[in-house]
Amino acid sequence: MTASLPVPQDAFPEDRDGATGEASPGRVVPLAKKAPRKPRRPRKPAPPVDPGPPPPLPVDLIAPPKPPLPPADVDIPPKPPLPVVEPEAEQVAAPEAEAEPGVAPEPAPEPEPEAAAAPAPEPAPAALEPEPRPESVPVPAAVLVAEPEAPPAPAQPAESAIEFGESPVDPDDADPFAASVVLDEARLASDADAALVLRGVVKRFGATRAVDGIDLTVPAGTFYGLVGPNGAGKTTTLSLIAGLLRPDKGSIRVGGVDAASDRRAAKRQMGVLPDRLRTFDRLTGRQLLYYYGVLRGLRSSIVESRIADLARAFDLTDALGRAVSDYSAGMLKKVMLAGALIHSPRLLVLDEPFEAVDPVSSAVILDILSAYVAHGGTVILSSHGMEFVERVCTRVAVLVAGQVLAEGTVDEVRGELTLEQRFIQLAGGLSDVEGLEWLHTFSD
């Protein structure tokens, strides 16, 4: 027998049944729309509040009332006169008059203030002070009157110094700046006439200072020699002058032209013979000289004429048709020197010009260079031949470790020694040859 369960009734018949989805037949009330808010009216600013009168000051700060002015008919007595004070000059002069009661001081009020102001020139030597008079001798009044005029005596030492020919100016007080200005003006005047000027030139290669602050002045029309041991910086210095290297510091002027600011104008005045010869060796000698002349801006006709003259002077006529690579070291040196001379420069920079050159060719080259210098040209060269430099050069500079140790005319540099002895002395003398005793025996 089965029992039937009671069916639950909906407790809220008006609501939608979630299980069956039935809807109550009740009326749906639509939502009321909100009315728009009215804009708020701006609030009126509050009226200013009158702070009222300020509080009264304390009694102790209130100023007492001023006394009333006297009536106009009242007579005010005048102020008493001030006491008369005598001037200081009279007070100072009074003790002087009391020092000698026997002499009556004359009334001279005006010159006595000058005597009071006289202590300014008092620093006078003791020898110029008047000797004291003995007390027993009476001093006339005229002498006392003339005593205030004594202070001009300090001018006597200057007159005596002038009379004896001494300078009134102390040598310690001389202005060193004025002397340096005079030296600088003289140096500038000499630099203006120089063919080559180096000032404070420095060149470094890593940690090595090949040129260490060189100062040189090469006058125009001189044969200038640059000597020094191997590694002293001669080639580097000449390369800096020729423009093949640029200095790290300092200035170089060629014929008054700054080589740093106008390199082309400076190079135009120079002819260069470098030590390490690098040239176009596949050209013939004639082609190489022609290239040098055209490169310097000469016309072809002038270049051809000068090639013939230089070949005849350097004895290169037969060698001009051959390639430069077939030349010997001496012939290569001569053709390069001819190329440095082809444009007739004002300054010749020659690095070892007579190395590997036979004596006959050396004599010919020396004659050419001597005639060039005699007509106003300037030659600066490096060489290890002390006898040659002593015989040919007019000025010489000894370069050691990148610094100029001696510079001037040949006589000034060598002194009482020969140039070779002086060079050895400046270069550090002869090295120690001990420890080579094994060379005294032979291996066989």
What's the chain look like in SS3? CCCCCCCCCCCCCCCCCCCCCCCCCCCCCCCCCCCCCCCCCCCCCCCCCCCCCCCCCCHHHCCCCCCCCCCCCCCCCCCCCCCCCCCHHHHHHHHHHHHCCCCCCCCCCCHHHHHHHCCCCCCCCHHHCCCCCCCCCCCCHHHHHHHHHCCCHHHHHHHHHHHCCCCCCCHHHCCHHHHHHHHHHHHHHHHHCEEEEEEEEEEEECCEEEEEEEEEEEECCCEEEEECCCCCCHHHHHHHHHCCCCCCEEEEEECCEECCCCHHHHHHCEEEECCCCCCCCCCEHHHHHHHHHHHCCCCHHHHHHHHHHHHHHCCCCCCCCCEHHHCCHHHHHHHHHHHHHCCCCCEEEEECCCCCCCHHHHHHHHHHHHHHHHCCCEEEEECCCHHHHHHHCCEEEEEECCEEEEEEEHHHHHCCCCHHHHHHHHHCCCCCCCCCHHHHCCCC
Residue 277 inside a domain? The answer is yes
Residue 176 inside a domain? The answer is no
Domain total of the chain: 1
Beta bridge partners of 258: 253
Residue 328 inside a domain? The answer is yes
286: domain range?
271-344
Residue 301 inside a domain? The answer is yes
Distance of CA 69 to the CA centre of its chain: 79
Residue 332 inside a domain? The answer is yes
Distances in Å between the Cα of 168 and the Cα atoms of 19, 158, 174 are 136, 6, 11
Among positive and negative, which fits the CA dihedral 302, 304, 307, 312?
negative
| Strand pairing class (223-227; 403-409) | unpaired
Residue 337 inside a domain? The answer is yes
Residue 371 inside a domain? The answer is no
Tens digit of each residue's pLDDT, the chain (444 residues): 555 566 556 555 555 555 555 555 556 666 666 667 777 777 777 777 677 777 776 666 666 666 666 555 556 667 667 766 565 544 444 444 444 444 445 555 555 544 444 445 555 444 444 455 545 444 444 444 444 454 555 444 444 433 434 444 454 555 554 444 444 555 555 677 799 999 999 999 999 999 999 999 999 999 999 999 888 999 999 999 999 999 999 999 999 999 999 999 999 999 999 877 678 889 999 999 999 999 999 999 999 999 999 999 998 999 999 999 999 888 888 999 999 999 999 999 999 888 888 888 888 899 999 999 999 999 999 988 888 898 899 999 999 999 999 999 999 998 888 888 888 888 876 666 667 777 878 876
| Strand pairing class (223-227; 378-382) | parallel
- CA angle, corner 96, sides to 90 and 100, nearest 5? 135
Cβ atoms of 244 and 401 within 8 Å: the answer is no
Cβ atoms of 333 and 353 within 8 Å: the answer is yes
Residue 315 inside a domain? The answer is yes
Among positive and negative, which fits the CA dihedral 156, 157, 162, 164?
positive
Among positive and negative, which fits the CA dihedral 257, 262, 265, 266?
positive
CB atoms within 10 A of CB 194: 20
Q: Rounded to two decimals, what is the model's pTM?
A: 0.57
